[in-house]
Chains A and B, each alone.
Chain A
């Protein structure tokens, strides 16, 4: 039994509110019709979408003129002109060039071309492309009533073509899509994308006032006039890990502002969850996370990617969520009249109240995306395999998958489990689809590790192993949002030395870069975790205590193992910063340094299984957490950003994580036995082994 310093009197009331309505729409396979009728006819069919309040579509050129003539832009042009001493005409010309570089040139003919080409490609690549048609109907309604912003999850390059393809299929207004400038590198393709509705923004334009003004006015003009739905990715970039990324707020701020300024009555945000059974970029991502640079987008690269056309990528599920009214969300949170005292065309930093509202909204939308992500059986299998890296009996895997399925369903996971199929069949067909990741031999299932020809250095072996672990982790990660909160509670419970809630809250804070945890929701998440664990009988809560039940052990152990790689990974980072980091470590050096520090640990101990810390994603998140907790500070020296480590603070964080792990070992040996990393690291350091020695 563990006592908690948490006011449980609140619990019963607010956790009742927790129980979300998890009734979800059914899906239709849009490829079915494509397999039965002419793609050409489909691409050439009459396309007449309904528009916002019946506006007439605006030609791309007219749109540019409206933007260039706008008071907002003219104001900034004059401002920049005064600051730089250049004539306004010249700045105006600059603005015009920026706009030219940015603007979309949506053309129905290009869309038709894509409709044709993608039909062919999708049919080859995927078994099904499933869409919830009720969601489409809701969207159609929303488009007519309010400006609409489409917010899909981002896991693949495919996402935005897929979105436009679906909207075309259902005769909905085609969106304009914010795309990263990197696409522009692909000459021909870039232009094609532009003509299918993409507009391009530079990845960073921090202090460039003019760029920002052109960009935000361009987006707002489209939004205010309702010319087309606006689409962008809240996560900012493709998630290489398949975990949702911490949302970026820039564009969201831009699309919400017209509501606060009264320029539109409301804005509807539509969360869209795109789930891939197998991601096209699967192993590419793993390599990228391990520091093999991302291949530059190029047309020839795309053509080489043709070979992927010969593989089976399973199904895609696209779920259009309930449109979220910004007006309703902001009710009582933002006082719009604070915008009354300032001319609306003068750019202004959003007020604190607004900023926190936008931040909150962004998190909520990403959580809605997560909620409606469709999970395949393989996701559950991957979660189990990663806790058994030495492999497991097929029968055990099957049995535990069934057990995990029950758990996931009772936690309202959106699981796409084939109806009426025997479990063994489900497991084997999942293994077949993912044969690149896992194989069965002699009744045992284990991860596939790419074995290059010829002799392999220990580092190469480690790298190959890490690729397969990270690839597999990208599937486990898909289910984390379902289990995260109870899993953190499980870890906290097994950590006896502190109060459960405090420990939960520590983990919550620590991991808030790795997972989508809405700011300020610690208490609510704790309640949800308690509620879920109680619901599935893993714990009981007599009075102020949280007690594991007799049948709770497997659940808590599984959860503990689920978070183990993260706990370990963060610990390695802490160790590195305490033991190894040199004075004047720059931000740039940080990732390669952690990576090689860890390689040393692994290569020399041979049996260490913490591969995930090799991922730059985890390293960055761990650093961000330490920065947030003031254990590390950033100092700008000349052009370099240097990290100043507060070793005391890092040490004590490491301590907490370490205690956690020790405890977890004792309790879960049967599922995930592993070594104490700390001990190994300490040994190594005592032996004077350093990363540089290895190099």
Chain B
């Protein structure tokens, strides 16, 4: 579920260290079992396949997150800086370290190659303004897991008025991400 949500959401979703840890433990467990199994045992192939599949999903999930971190790094780091005390983090500590290193690396590079050769009043550049933000208005497909009532849909254009909709359990919709973002976080809907 986390994998699909992350794949289809335009922004970086909350970090799920418990899920990752659980999956990793499972993989290690299965690998250990396989090492002890006899050669030529049919179960070995099936388990191996399972391991491969699980490893693929986990890798894909983490790759997706890394790609988003690299794509939106100034905004993500800014969001993390202004996060309140009790709020859960979007990044795992390792991802946070990676993001900071990526930013420092890129800033240093741009400064050394281009910015330091420019006239003094142009030597700083705001990456926050230059790097594009995630497009929260992009449309996503979703399936409703828990019935929701009175979801407010903002008008797209000035002529339209805002209206409310009810989301029935099991129904599928195509809607702007921004409208249902909190529902993804709470698990009430599943992106497909």
Q: Decide whether A and B are members of one complex.
A: no
Seen from chain B, the residues whose Cβ lies within 8 Å of a Cβ on chain A are none
Seen from chain A, the residues whose Cβ lies within 8 Å of a Cβ on chain B are none
